Amino acid sequence: MHLTLINGPWFFGKRLEFLSQNLGLAYLAACLREAGHEVTILDAVAEAPTKRIRVPLKYQTVYRWGLDYLEIVQRIPAHTKAIGITVPFTNNRIIAQELSSAIKNRFPDIPLLLGGVFPSTQPADALFPTVDYVIRGEGEHAIVAFADGVFPEKIPGFVFRRDGEIVETGPVAFERNPDRFPFPARDLLPMETYVRHSPRGLIGRRSASLISSRGCPFQCNYCSVHPVAGRLWRPRTPERVLEEIDQLIERWQINHLEFEDDNMTIDPDRVKTILNGLIERKKKGIPLTWENPNGIRTETLDEEFVAMCPPSGNRTLYLPVEHGSREMLKKMNKALNLEAVERVIGWCGKHGVRTVIFFIVGYPGETDALWREGWEYARKLRRLGATRFEVFIAKPYPGTRMYEECRARNYLIHPDVENVVYDMDFAGVRTPEFTEWEVLRRRRVMKWDLNPKSATLKSAISGILPACLFRRLKAIQEHWIGPKGKLKIKN
């Protein structure tokens, strides 16, 4: 069977914030190909990263980045037998509905499937009239079974309509040993476009995304990872991870790695084995660097790990602290040892590792006093040596406990979530403790107070200059000054 897998356009503001390397689609394609099927992948964003269309929505105006719907439809091979669309964010719900309609108009008799975060957290809502099947959670086994001709009624994780009624086939079967999956089929993706622009905007490196583990055993109320990746932490072996890294180096000349794991460091011995492998490759002259931009849990770290970061090529540790008030952490159901955070920041300073701290404001129950308590703790971390702070607004994403709480208590400013795009500056909750304007103020105050003024200035400039000019200036800065702000002296 020939299948076409599509990453549609994405909603962003005036700037394309990042470019996904579509590991999800690449894993699906690899498993399908291993089972003897043919696959085409279309990435609408990467195919037209400078193309945008202004889209006025009910509550805000956004931009749709990437190929338009007609261009996508025209690129679908005429001989394809099934079409899958990934919807990795709830933000892209409107796009998924419009794109599925355009595809169904051209291919009315071809099965159309949806997968990703939005279909996994809201399967009934994702089952648009033009969608035949929704796949919940991890889709590798499910889509291979479908391509092999198994009836959807017998495939765990499928959702579809029969005689006007929604049918769910039960929970998806998460693969307990992810080493059984082949490496992502990156050869079907526009890898040269990807590697020249890392997902997080790093310039001057050839970057690749990869994952060394799946799943999350923690229960944070604001997170929607469980419907997609499960609650069981499922690691890959260090040997398999390093083998994939070698492939990335040899085939695509990668020199920067972005581990997309939610919990890379749960097993300290495993991750240290991976770092030792990176150290060995650097000793052979391979100029590797790496980051874990989704964050690392501080309780899983020790000084030995931190000391291994510089020689293995680490640029920065991202620490999702989220709040400095123990009461707020309890409200978030965020299990965190604040003393462990302070120890890790001390080790990072000792061994020359930068730290980016993640904070959240605007979570239900955050009084002014609790916010100030968290802010003061963030100041303490800055005094201990924390490098930079990313301050986020709590978002009531559907499928999370936070969303259910806000809906039950009428905290949602816009209950019709199908009309909402959760961008970085969107505050969608109003509670007895704060208004949306107060949340925006808290975020603005913390960002200005906690971060170096050079970082604040860079952020302001990025919002003014054309994207191409800003990227060029950033490349010059990284080449001549370096990522840590120190002038490079050439002998």
Higher pLDDT among residues 417 and 87, named by residue: 87
Rounded to an integer, what distance in angstroms lies between the CA atom of residue 215 and that of residue 227?
A: 10
Rounded to an integer, what distance in angstroms lies between the CA atom of residue 381 and that of residue 346?
A: 9
Looking at residue 75, its pLDDT comes to 97
- Contact (Cβ atoms closer than 8 angstroms) between residue 314 and residue 352: no
Instruction: List, in order, residues 6 or more apart from 86 with CB less than 8 Å away.
Output: 5, 6, 7, 8, 22, 24, 25, 114, 115, 116
- Contact (Cβ atoms closer than 8 angstroms) between residue 413 and residue 430: yes
Encode 206-224: b = buried (16+ Cβ within 10 Å), e = exposed: bbbbbbbbbbbebebbbbb
pLDDT at position 387 over 70: yes
Which ranges in the chain are annotated with CATH 3.40.50.2300? 2-168
Tens of pLDDT, residue by residue over 114-146, are 999 999 999 999 999 999 999 999 999 999 999
What is the pTM assigned to this prediction? Answer: 0.91
Instruction: Indicate the pLDDT class of residue 481, thresholds 50, 70 and 90.
Output: very low
Looking at residue 487, its pLDDT comes to 38
pLDDT at position 391 over 80: yes
- Contact (Cβ atoms closer than 8 angstroms) between residue 241 and residue 312: no
Look at the block and give the residue holding tokens 């304007």.
437
Higher pLDDT among residues 443 and 425, named by residue: 443
* Average pLDDT of the chain, as a whole number: 91
CATH number belonging to domain 2-168: 3.40.50.2300
Tens of pLDDT, residue by residue over 253-280, are 999 999 999 999 999 999 999 999 999 9
pLDDT at position 297 over 80: yes
DSSP string, 436-489: HHHHHHHHHHHHHHHS-HHHHHHHHHHTTS-HHHHHHHHHHHHHHT-TTS----
pLDDT at position 82 over 90: yes
Tens of pLDDT, residue by residue over 16-48, are 888 899 999 999 999 999 999 999 999 999 999
Looking at residue 489, its pLDDT comes to 34
Looking at residue 470, its pLDDT comes to 53
In DSSP terms, 113 is beta-bridged to 84, 133
Look at the block and give the residue holding tokens 């479908």.
146
